[in-house]
């Protein structure tokens, strides 16, 4: 179709205008064979740009940040094509082939092999366009891979939040010694009907969350202690849910032999940023006589992602 194959001048204009960013969180970072297969799949389409890859062996989790353009129908203006869709599906196929959730363990919660997919608008894209792609991905995952899919935020009919769905599904409850997640979680049936896919779960694949939302930042603060209970107390008092910082969600997790972490999602990073979180964690940790290291982001800012994308497509 002509809409999917613009000439080079038109195509370059499209590739630099309406852009979507897709973040994939996959439950694996130790199986090199599986990761190499996923990496090959991530290069499935040269018009999808891999902007960042973040691996965490302790959490046994890898995050991909991908960017590509959106093509619209010339008559209606509706989105009709984005290379991200086929790239994400190719990555998922490789992940499901190479990873068995029943054999997985890690210090980070998860409910699926392809645990979470978030679509963010970039450049002149809108949340409506991000939601369009999220819904297309959800339908394909449900039909092709036969995994239950839960939509969230702007992709959900009522805007249901990701953390609300996760809480309903038991995402935050460790199932091994109170500090680790291993194998398929203990639930035997799904307490909430999925938006796409079957009502039964493959223990090898689990379920997938797919959503669209405005930009959020992931910021983790290391604490020099293995006291998970202390980390959880601090995390609770940092989060909005616990009466702490507005628009901040947190988890207190074990992270390696000598540290724990306060893993944070900053829902409004331009309002409540990393410096606010860092200061609050340091203050609360001092009350527990614990040392804190400087935190780190697990991904680039939207501005850095856009800049990296532009450099890579212009170079190619």
The answer on 107 and 26 residing in a single domain is: yes
The structural domain count of the chain equals: 2
The answer on 254 and 161 residing in a single domain is: no
Instruction: Specify the pLDDT at position 1.
Output: 39
Angle between helices 228-238 and 274-287 (to 10 degrees): 130
Task: Summarize pLDDT for 16-63 with one digit per residue, the tens.
Answer: 689 999 999 999 999 999 999 999 999 989 999 999 999 999 999 999
Alpha helices in the chain (DSSP H): 8-15, 32-42, 83-98, 127-140, 162-168, 228-238, 274-287, 302-315
Instruction: Give a yes or no: residue 313 inside a domain.
Output: no
**What backbone torsions phi and psi does residue 253 show, to the nearest 5 degrees?**
-130, 150
Instruction: Specify the pLDDT at position 2.
Output: 39
- Is residue 255 among the annotated active site residues? no
Instruction: Give a yes or no: residue 302 inside a domain.
Output: no
Each residue of 157-168: b (16+ CB within 10 Å) or e?
Answer: eeebebbebbee
pTM, full prediction: 0.94
Instruction: Specify the pLDDT at position 316.
Output: 73
Instruction: Give a yes or no: residue 132 inside a domain.
Output: yes
CATH code of residue 254: 3.30.70.670
Distance CA 97, CA 38 (A): 10
Which of 191, 167, 180 lies closest to 239 in space, CA to CA?
A: 167
The answer on 184 and 271 residing in a single domain is: no
The answer on 124 and 186 residing in a single domain is: yes
User: Which of 158, 185, 214 is the last residue before a domain boundary?
Assistant: 214
Task: Summarize pLDDT for 256-312 with one digit per residue, the tens.
Answer: 888 999 999 999 999 999 999 999 999 999 999 999 999 999 999 999 999 999 999
Instruction: Give a yes or no: residue 283 inside a domain.
Output: yes
For residue 212, give both structure tokens.
């669209």
The answer on 240 and 200 residing in a single domain is: no
Task: Summarize pLDDT for 107-153 with one digit per residue, the tens.
Answer: 999 999 999 999 999 989 999 999 999 999 999 999 999 999 999 99
What range does the domain containing 278 cover? Answer: 217-297
Instruction: Give a yes or no: residue 47 inside a domain.
Output: yes
Instruction: Give a yes or no: residue 308 inside a domain.
Output: no
Distance CA 56, CA 26 (A): 11
Instruction: Give a yes or no: residue 305 inside a domain.
Output: no
Task: Summarize pLDDT for 193-252 with one digit per residue, the tens.
Answer: 999 999 999 999 999 999 999 999 999 999 999 999 999 999 999 999 999 999 999 999
Distance CA 47, CA 11 (A): 10
The answer on 286 and 164 residing in a single domain is: no
Instruction: Specify the pLDDT at position 115.
Output: 98
Query: How many CA atoms lie within 13 Å of 141's alpha carbon, on the beta-carbon side?
Result: 35
Instruction: Specify the pLDDT at position 9.
Output: 56
For residue 119, the 8-state DSSP code is E
Task: Summarize pLDDT for 55-111 with one digit per residue, the tens.
Answer: 999 999 999 999 999 999 999 999 999 999 999 999 999 999 999 999 999 999 999
Instruction: Specify the pLDDT at position 12.
Output: 56
Which of 117, 83, 310 lies closest to 211 in space, CA to CA?
A: 117
Task: Summarize pLDDT for 2-20 with one digit per residue, the tens.
Answer: 345 545 555 555 556 899 9
Contact between 142 and 199 under an 8 Å Cβ cutoff? The reply is no
First-to-last CA distance in the chain?
Answer: 24
Which of these is catalytic: 25, 72, 104, 108?
108
Instruction: Give a yes or no: residue 314 inside a domain.
Output: no
The answer on 84 and 28 residing in a single domain is: yes
CATH code of residue 97: 3.30.990.10
The answer on 198 and 73 residing in a single domain is: yes
The answer on 187 and 107 residing in a single domain is: yes
Task: Summarize pLDDT for 164-201 with one digit per residue, the tens.
Answer: 999 999 999 998 888 999 999 878 789 999 999 999 99
Instruction: Specify the pLDDT at position 8.
Output: 57
């Amino acid at each position: 179709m002509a809409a999917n194959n613009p000439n080079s001048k038109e195509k370059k204009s499209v590739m630099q205008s309406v852009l979507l960013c897709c973040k994939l969180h996959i439950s694996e970072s130790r199986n090199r064979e599986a990761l190499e297969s996923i990496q090959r799949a991530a290069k499935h389409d040269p018009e999808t740009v891999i902007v960042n890859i973040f691996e965490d062996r302790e959490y046994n989790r890898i995050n991909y940040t991908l960017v590509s353009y959106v093509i619209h129908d010339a008559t209606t203006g509706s989105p009709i094509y984005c290379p991200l869709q086929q790239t994400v599906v190719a990555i998922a196929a490789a992940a499901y082939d190479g990873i068995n959730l029943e054999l997985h363990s890690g210090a980070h919660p998860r409910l699926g092999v392809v645990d979470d997919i978030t679509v963010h608008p970039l450049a002149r894209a809108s949340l409506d366009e991000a939601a369009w792609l999220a819904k297309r991905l959800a339908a394909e995952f449900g039909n092709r891979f036969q995994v239950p899919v839960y939509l969230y935020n702007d992709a959900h009919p009522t805007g249901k939040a990701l953390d609300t769905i996760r809480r309903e599904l038991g995402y935050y409850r460790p199932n091994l010694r109170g500090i680790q997640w291993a194998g398929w979680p203990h639930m035997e049936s799904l307490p909430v009907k999925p938006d796409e896919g079957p009502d039964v779960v493959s223990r090898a694949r689990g379920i997938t969350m797919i959503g669209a939302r405005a930009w959020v930042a992931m910021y983790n603060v290391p604490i020099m202690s293995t006291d998970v209970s202390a980390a959880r107390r601090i995390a609770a008092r940092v989060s909005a849910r616990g009466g702490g910082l507005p628009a901040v969600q947190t988890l207190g997790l074990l992270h390696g032999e000598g540290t724990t972490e306060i893993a944070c999602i900053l829902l409004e990073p331009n309002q409540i940023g990393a410096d606010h979180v860092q200061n609050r964690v340091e203050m609360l940790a001092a009350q527990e006589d614990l040392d804190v290291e400087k935190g780190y982001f697990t991904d680039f800012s939207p501005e850095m992602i856009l800049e990296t994308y532009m450099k890579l497509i212009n170079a190619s």
